[in-house]
Amino acid sequence: MTAQSTQTDRSRLHLFAAVAAIAEQLPDKPAVVGYGGKGSRYTYGELRRRVTALAASLRQPPYDSMAEIGLLSENRPEWTICYLAIVAAGKTVVPIDANYRASEVKAVVEHAKLEAVFCSARCDSLLGEIGRSLRVLSLDSPGSRNDAGPHEYADTFESMSADGGSDTFEPGEFNETAVLIYTSGTTGTPKAVMLTHTNLLSNVRQAVDTLGLAESDTFLSVLPLHHTFEATCGFLAPLTIGATIVYARSLKSKEILEDLGANNVSIMCGVPLLYEKMYQSMRRKIASAPLPRRALFHTLYTASSVAWRAGRKAGVGLFASLRTKAGLSTIRLFVSGGAALPPRIAEFFNLIGFTFLQGYGLTECSPVVSVNRPEDIEFGSVGPPLNDVDVRIANPDTAGIGEIIVRGPNTTPGYRDNPEATAELLKDGWLHTGDLGHIDQRGHVWITGRAKNVIVSAAGKNIYPEEIEEKLVLTPSIDEAVVFGRQNEKKHGEEVLAVLVPDFDYFAEVHGMSPEEPDESLIETAISEDVKQVNAGMAEYKRIASFDISLTELEKTSTKKIKRFLYK
């Protein structure tokens, strides 16, 4: 076996070996850049040297005996280096949600039995509730700590990753479990999803091949890196092909648009809420344009729609100037995942000339299961399964809807120290997702909703809240919606209820209303009218019986999924 083939074999078995192989080929190319292009930056050569030096430090006492090391920080290049160094040292990385409360961080640290955590100055106060001994490794320079707390910094990223004189990386012995991802905080016993090097590398290669990701691409990293969607598609995939990653300054739409334009970004992964806000913003600008411009837009949009149905992407040329004015001319691919996306939003972005792909996955699948292909897009579907991933529908009803089950090299071996939950998840070689859907004749997967969210009407019919929410958030007055069922004591079955958040940008632009001084009567009147319109377009058993209005945004996870259990 040649040295080159040995290196190739290793890069197929170990996450950092895959990155190191690219770094050897492209040592001077920018790999990761912080703060929207204005922060710290590392070339591939520098990244490789930092990772190997830090990994060498982690093989020395007292870290050599530790099987897992935590990572608690906002998105930044140093997060990437620490993640890779932990796995390069033969250990398992435990990413912790930087938006957790201190009690939730404590639950993860204790469940994982962590003895050391890399932590940024912005997040170190979250470690304050941890009473036992914990080595805190600083990502920042000395003196930048916000809160001294009970833990002193044991070491710093800078000193541990200083140039050790060699950037040679040999995988050696390593934990096959590369990462533990916590899918619940302090609600019951936390579940730690084990993902192996093989799980993640198989999903990375599937994503790269399916989406046509390339060395020439620049990614804008927006979603939290502890989340598997961003870690696989916005971190590991780019670094295994030699692309550049720029970390966004924030989740504010204005700053994201500035970061996209300033860095010639070609690819961004996001969650539906992000794209919904971009869509609503663009639609409002179109609606407020002078009549001739509005008429021109609608004419071109209709032409693009007709061409799309004929198999042509005319929007690429028809809306080139619109994309340039929006600062999005370099974008070639938007990818949406993590939650349901209203089909109209995918349609809008594709018809104005972007390639906009909706996909589906879950942490337990590393995470991608299926995604639309650039040459085969079905609005509303989550596309065909990835190559080497099998998807079936278990126990389908007369409409073909049943639980989605998955099998492939990307599926988790189970939950750490939780055999009961693992047995419920994995049955006869198939991973049971808990999601409901069907597969059409062309092989596209369609998600109906979560099994546990289904509302059962008085007539015994299933109502999927996600379907109703999609319609509500596309109305002018509603920004966010959560729909749920509640037992009606006077009759059988559940009635459909909702909590709705006004779109304050709409009320400011159309009615001149200040968010600080909301006119609740006007808001209720406008939202009531939009709810009536939504109800009129649905079967009677699906209609919203009543709703509450919240003047503050709905509580969400760090990946912008609504915490449904709070509203039932």
Identify the three-state secondary structure at position 49.
Answer: helix
CATH fold label, 455-566: GMP Synthetase; Chain A, domain 3 (3.30.300)
Q: How many residues does the chain have?
A: 568
Domain definitions of the chain by residue range: 3-196, 271-451, 455-566
> Cβ distance 410 to 368 under 8 Å?
yes
CA distance 457 to 455: 6
Angle CA(95)–CA(206)–CA(562) in degrees, nearest 5?
45
CA distance 506 to 527: 12
Q: What does each of the 568 residues of the chain score in pLDDT, given as a tens digit?
A: 333 434 445 556 799 999 999 999 999 999 999 999 999 999 999 999 999 999 999 999 999 999 999 999 999 999 999 999 999 999 999 999 998 888 889 989 999 999 999 999 999 888 887 866 899 999 987 655 544 445 667 788 988 988 665 666 666 667 789 999 998 543 445 689 999 999 999 999 999 999 999 999 999 999 999 999 999 999 999 999 999 999 999 988 889 989 999 999 999 999 888 898 889 888 888 988 999 999 999 999 999 999 999 999 999 999 999 999 888 999 999 999 988 888 999 999 999 999 999 999 999 999 999 999 999 999 999 999 999 999 999 999 999 999 999 999 999 999 999 999 999 999 999 999 999 999 999 999 999 988 888 888 876 778 889 889 989 999 999 999 999 988 876 666 789 999 999 999 899 988 999 888 999 999 999 999 999 999 999 888 899 999 999 999 998 876 677 888 888 7
> Cβ distance 229 to 361 under 8 Å?
yes
Give the residue from 105, 65, 125 showing the smallest Cα distance to 89.
Answer: 65
Tokens at 10, concatenated:
């290793």
* Domain 3-196 matches domain 271-451 at the CATH topology level: yes
> Cβ distance 376 to 355 under 8 Å?
no
Residues 6 or more apart whose CB falls under 8 angstroms from that of 86 comprise 55, 58, 69, 71, 92, 93
CATH number attached to the domain at 3-196: 3.40.50.12780
Angle CA(180)–CA(373)–CA(17) in degrees, nearest 5?
40
> Cβ distance 73 to 79 under 8 Å?
yes
State whether CATH 3.55.40.20 applies to domain 271-451: no
Q: What is the DSSP letter of 489?
A: T
Residue 295 Rama label (left phi>0; alpha psi -120 to 50; beta): alpha
Tokens at 202, concatenated:
């198989």
